[in-house]
Amino acid sequence: MQPLKEPVTEIVTLTDEELLALDGLERDSLTPTPWVTESAAGPDARALVTAAAMRSMISRGIVTSSTVLDPRRYEEGSQEPARMVAVPALQGTAVLRRTSDAVLIAERKTERGTAYSYFYLFHVEGGVRVLWEAFDAAGFHLFFLLDGATLPEQLLAFVDPVSGAGEDDGDADEVPSAAFATSAAAARLAEARAVTTVLVLHREDTEGPTAFTLFSTPDALELMETDGEGEAAVQRVGAVSTATLTALVEDLITGTRPDAADAQQ
């Protein structure tokens, strides 16, 4: 695996409708498309905005037609249908979004609205590569390439915008889910400036996704997870240090290796 020139490398920025145009309207969207959902809800409106998006990409030079690239193949009498061709960076991004070994999804809510980070994980020889897709309600999707070792730092900056995480862990509270709304822990978490739900999905998972919630407060970064189901469910919540969150994310990344299940047996 060749080292990246920069820990975080920007690849391309695409709008909701450009992503839909690249994927095709007949396919389910991999990520939310908040601007299209709000502004072009019906099928006719979606078809119109994606057609406009494709025209825009052609004018920007990041998508072209096969008739332009090789006009001799489309001379009079040719039966070969024309197709759209994206530049390598764009085509590679579209492919990587659908072929990762795993994805870590972080959905952050603040007083300014909801923002998303999708970290697509690829286990390659010698390490981990990450395609990071970040977007919010405006519907502009920013794509970056990361070294796997950089992911914990980027995730921390996303989930803890007020830099509440400290150097020490706090004691964990365990509260029955039925009583959590009126608990002291719930009152403490109400001070959070950002609430982020984290979900980890990977192809070879047999036990279900990993999920937890992070609360960024001025005094701490608190992690909450649910243990058990139904009436027996318990909410476990406590402050986590920067080092603990980093170790947690590193363990999650390691657990998504294609051979991780075999290694644990």
Give me the pLDDT at residue 50, please: 93
- Taking alpha carbons only, the member of 192, 222, 33 closest to residue 109 is 192
Higher pLDDT, 140 or 260: 140
pLDDT score of 20 more than 80: yes
Domain range summary for the chain, segments of one domain joined by +: 14-94, 101-264
Give me the pLDDT at residue 87, please: 76
Give me the pLDDT at residue 263, please: 54
pLDDT score of 93 more than 80: yes
This prediction has a pTM of 0.89
Q: What is the pLDDT of residues 61-89, one digit of tens each?
A: 888 766 565 556 655 655 555 566 777 88
Considering 19-23, 90-94, 213-217, the range whose residues carry the highest mean pLDDT is 213-217
Judge whether 244 and 169 are in contact, CB under 8 Å. Answer: yes
What residue type is 52 in one-letter code?
A: A
Q: CA-to-CA distance for 236 and 241, rounded, in angstroms?
A: 16
- Taking alpha carbons only, the member of 25, 26, 30 closest to residue 100 is 30
Tally helices (H) and strands (E) across the chain.
Answer: 9, 12
What DSSP string runs through 59-113?
HHTSEEEHHHH-GGGGSTT--PPP-EEE-HHHHHHHHHTTT-SEEEEEEEEETTE
Q: Report how far apart, in Å, the C-alpha atoms of 246 and of each of 9, 97, 149, 154 are.
A: 21, 24, 10, 10
pLDDT score of 122 more than 80: yes
Confidence band, pLDDT 50/70/90 cuts, at residue 253? very high
**Segment 2-27 mean pLDDT:** 86
Burial of 86 (C-beta count, 10 Å sphere; 0-12/13-18/19+):
middle
**Segment 28-48 mean pLDDT:** 93
What residue type is 247 in one-letter code?
A: A
Give me the pLDDT at residue 44, please: 94
